[in-house]
Amino acid sequence: YATESDEKGGSTDGPLEGMKEHLIETIKHTFKVSPEQAAQLYSELIQCTRKKHL
C-alpha cells in the first residue's frame, strides 16, 4: 500500500516490516535455512511486495 512517505521517498514501514522478526523465524523453520538465509529471503519478499506493480 502506498503511503505519503512512499511518495516522498521516506521510509516504508508497512505491515510486513512490522512483523520482520516473526517472519524471519517462520521462514527459517519452514524452509530449514540459516538465519542469514532467512533474512535474505525476507528481504527479497519485501522487495517483491514493493514492486508488485511491475
8-13 CB contacts, 8 Å cutoff, 24+ apart:
12/50
Hey, what's the cell of 54?
Answer: 511491475
Residue 4's pLDDT band (cuts 50, 70, 90): very low
Mean pLDDT of 35-47: 95
* pLDDT score recorded for residue 31: 97
Domain extents in the chain: 13-50
9-39 pLDDT tens trace: 445 567 777 899 999 999 999 999 999 999 9
Q: Which residue has the higher pLDDT, 20 or 3?
A: 20
Q: Which residue has the higher pLDDT, 4 or 47?
A: 47
